[in-house]
């Protein structure tokens, strides 16, 4: 039985047409997934019929037979209450000043049911797998972990037993192991007959849980059908790009370029910083970390957030504090951060996570890329620098037309390409990739990743890659080091670590 059917849905915001003739349906107890890159209109398609997105919708959307399109706000309200909505970013989608219990109670009452007692509320939290549910009722959202918040978000969305659950990217703020747990939870809820409309950019992941999939691009459905069929035999380029952009650890890794002589050796690195407050004790961020990187070798430094991986990498690149330990470059000791020589600066260059914040908003693209050339290659005159900048822009597939632009005129992917060009300018032998693709949209991240693969092979670059996503890391890296609580707990060849993970932290990252 069809619970929710959308036909010829279009949406205009001002003069811009955002959605064109979208159609899909969700049946009782089943899950339909809308998949696409950011900006493809997948979230808009879910929210516009319910009046929860800007703009004017036309076409048809029927919830349990009742038409939504064309209704005004007071008429839409009771229909919204028949569905349940779980938004992405639960950290901001729950009201910060109300306790979990109050928000759950409000969700039930808004759905038309009498006010539930405390036991019933605790049972709702229990149903989504929250430990100690009774105590959590009096807690505020900020006290919960990211995974718990997402569970609470879902619990509030289904508190009034809606006939349809709309879940917008319920897993995108979570790391790999939690993603499966949340999707399993949604599968369980369906067993009571609830229909689920799922929005995601991760096609391989949702295809495991959804019955039907519609792939969106630029506001249109480009492909739809049974989930398994779409994943195994994608018909359009967009779908294939989406499959490729979310690499999976189940498929064999790519062939990587060969490695050479030892390049960088870090031995017993410690980083401690002063605690916050006057007499707070020192905080140890990294403790006794050792690793080596050879010419042309890529090492992935993985761990959950706060494990110290970024701090360690910055210490090694002499861009952050280092308290103790020894760092050698081709056997020679590297001096401290404040006594850096041009030689080492030239050899190691960073690329950061947030591409927009990586570029000074006042500087042109050409000036940013030329910055390392001015300081590290003083032998070049202005003309030679300009020629280098043009060549670098070509190398990162932007073209010299970008030279005079400013960061505000660049997309995220373009800005990250500029940051990569700047890192390559002085001809480094090792680049530090600090979560360099994780702030980007899924398709853009995929393209940046293949650019990095090409540069790795062309320039015989050594790479130190900081990441929380092992699948992304494997497409570049020979070896993997796993960090937890400031220590490297396990390291070795990538495939060996995948097949026989030793430490619990490694297994956690693998989601097993």
Contact between 464 and another protein per CB under 8 A: no
Binding segment for another protein among 22-30, 84-92, 233-241, 328-336 (CB under 8 A)? 84-92
In the bound state with another protein, the residue whose beta carbon lies nearer, of 165 and 221, is 165
Whether the CB-CB separation of 484 and 508 falls below 8 Å is answered with no
**Interface of this chain with another protein, residues 256 to 285, rule: CB under 8 A:** 274, 277-278
Contact between 306 and another protein per CB under 8 A: no
What is the total count of residues that contact another protein (CB under 8 A)? 58
Q: How distant, in Å, are the alpha carbons of 125, 357, 359 from that of 431? A: 46, 18, 17
Residue 46 makes CB contacts below 8 A (sequence gap 6+) with 34, 166, 168, 197, 199
Query: Nearest distance from residue 314's CB to another protein, in Å?
Result: 8
Binding segment for another protein among 107-115, 187-195, 228-236, 470-478 (CB under 8 A)? 107-115
Query: Helices marked H in 351-399 — which ranges?
Result: 365-376, 382-395
In the bound state with another protein, the residue whose beta carbon lies nearer, of 26 and 213, is 26
Contact between 391 and another protein per CB under 8 A: no
| Residue linked to tokens 């006939």 | 163
Binding segment for another protein among 106-114, 187-195, 222-230, 493-501 (CB under 8 A)? 106-114
Contact between 220 and another protein per CB under 8 A: no
Residue 498 makes CB contacts below 8 A (sequence gap 6+) with 249, 470, 474, 510
Q: How far apart are the first and last CA of the chain?
A: 36
Contact between 353 and another protein per CB under 8 A: yes
Query: Nearest distance from residue 43's CB to another protein, in Å?
Result: 11
Among 171, 239, 307, 349, binds another protein (CB under 8 A): 349
| Residue linked to tokens 């999939």 | 213
Contact between 475 and another protein per CB under 8 A: no
Query: Nearest distance from residue 286's CB to another protein, in Å?
Result: 17
**Residue closest to 241 by CA, chosen among 220, 216, 219:** 216
Contact between 65 and another protein per CB under 8 A: no
Measured CA to CA, the distance from residue 120 to residue 107 in angstroms comes to 13
Among 32, 200, 307, 358, binds another protein (CB under 8 A): 358
Which DSSP helix (H) or strand (E) runs through 509? helix 504-510
In the bound state with another protein, the residue whose beta carbon lies nearer, of 109 and 222, is 109
In the bound state with another protein, the residue whose beta carbon lies nearer, of 86 and 207, is 86
Contact between 372 and another protein per CB under 8 A: yes
Binding segment for another protein among 19-27, 87-95, 238-246, 384-392 (CB under 8 A)? 87-95
**Interface of this chain with another protein, residues 395 to 434, rule: CB under 8 A:** 419, 422-423, 425-426
**Residue closest to 343 by CA, chosen among 388, 311, 375:** 375
In degrees, to the nearest 5, what angle opens at C-alpha 376 toward C-alphas 356 and 259? 80
For residue 378, the tally of other CB atoms under 10 A from its CB is 9
Contact between 371 and another protein per CB under 8 A: yes
For residue 395, the tally of other CB atoms under 10 A from its CB is 17
Measured CA to CA, the distance from residue 420 to residue 422 in angstroms comes to 5
**Interface of this chain with another protein, residues 127 to 186, rule: CB under 8 A:** 140, 142, 156
Contact between 385 and another protein per CB under 8 A: no
**Residue closest to 217 by CA, chosen among 233, 192, 229, 234:** 234
| Residue linked to tokens 């993985």 | 302
Contact between 317 and another protein per CB under 8 A: yes
Measured CA to CA, the distance from residue 470 to residue 250 in angstroms comes to 11
Measured CA to CA, the distance from residue 355 to residue 418 in angstroms comes to 9
Whether the CB-CB separation of 287 and 486 falls below 8 Å is answered with yes
Query: Nearest distance from residue 13's CB to another protein, in Å?
Result: 15
| Per-residue tokens: 279 | 């007499």
Among 2, 58, 92, 145, binds another protein (CB under 8 A): 92
Residues of this chain that interact with another protein (CB under 8 A) are 50, 52, 73, 77-81, 85, 87, 89, 92-98, 106-107, 110-111, 140, 142, 156, 274, 277-278, 314, 317, 319, 340, 342, 345-346, 348-350, 352-354, 357-362, 368, 371-372, 374-376, 419, 422-423, 425-426
């Amino acid at each position: 039985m069809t619970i929710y059917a959308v036909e010829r849905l279009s949406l205009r915001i001002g003069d811009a047409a955002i959605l064109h003739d979208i159609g899909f349906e969700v049946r009782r107890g089943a899950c339909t997934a809308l998949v696409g890159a950011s900006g493809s209109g997948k979230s808009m398609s879910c929210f516009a019929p319910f009046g929860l997105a800007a703009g004017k919708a036309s076409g048809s959307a029927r919830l349990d037979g009742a038409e939504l399109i064309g209704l005004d706000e007071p008429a839409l309200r009771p229909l919204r209450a028949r569905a349940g909505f779980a938004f992405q970013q639960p950290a901001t989608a729950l009201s910060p000043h109300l306790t979990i219990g109050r928000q759950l109670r409000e969700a039930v009452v808004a759905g038309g049911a009498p006010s539930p007692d405390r036991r019933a509320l605790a049972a709702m939290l229990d149903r989504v797998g929250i430990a100690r549910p009774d105590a959590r009722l009096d807690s505020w959202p900020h006290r919960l972990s990211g995974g718990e918040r997402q569970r609470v978000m879902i619990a509030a969305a289904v508190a009034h037993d809606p006939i349809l659950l709309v879940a917008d990217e319920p897993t995108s703020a979570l790391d790999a192991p939690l993603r499966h747990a949340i999707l399993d939870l949604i599968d369980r809820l369906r067993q009571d007959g609830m229909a689920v409309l799922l929005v995601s950019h991760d096609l391989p992941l949702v295809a495991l849980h959804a019955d039907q999939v519609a792939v969106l691009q630029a506001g249109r459905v480009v492909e739809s059908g049974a989930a398994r069929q779409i994943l195994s035999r994608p018909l359009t380029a967009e779908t294939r790009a989406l499959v490729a952009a979310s690499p999976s650890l189940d498929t064999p890794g790519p062939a990587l370029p060969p490695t050479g002589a030892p390049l960088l050796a870090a031995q017993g690195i410690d980083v401690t910083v002063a605690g916050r407050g006057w007499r707070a004790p020192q905080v140890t961020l990294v403790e006794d970390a050792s690793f080596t990187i050879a010419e042309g070798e890529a090492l992935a430094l993985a761990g959950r957030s706060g494990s110290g991986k970024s701090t360690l990498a910055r210490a090694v690149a002499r861009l952050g504090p280092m308290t103790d330990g020894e760092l050698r470059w081709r056997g020679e000791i590297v001096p401290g951060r404040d006594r850096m020589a041009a030689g080492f600066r030239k050899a190691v260059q960073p690329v950061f996570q947030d591409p927009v914040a990586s570029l000074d908003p006042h500087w042109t693209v050409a000036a940013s890329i030329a910055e390392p050339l001015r300081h590290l290659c003083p032998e070049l005159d202005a003309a030679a620098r300009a020629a280098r900048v043009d060549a670098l822009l070509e190398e990162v597939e932007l073209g010299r037309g970008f030279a005079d632009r400013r960061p505000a005129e660049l997309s995220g992917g373009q800005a990250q390409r500029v940051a990569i060009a700047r890192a390559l300018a002085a001809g480094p032998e090792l680049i530090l990739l600090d979560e360099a693709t994780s702030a980007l949209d899924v398709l853009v991240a995929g393209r940046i990743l293949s650019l990095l693969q090409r540069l790795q092979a062309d320039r015989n670059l050594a790479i130190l890659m900081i990441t929380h996503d092992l699948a992304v890391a494997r497409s570049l890296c020979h070896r993997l080091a796993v960090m937890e609580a400031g220590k490297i707990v396990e390291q070795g060849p990538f495939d060996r670590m995948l097949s026989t993970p030793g430490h619990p932290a490694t297994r956690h990252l693998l989601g097993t």
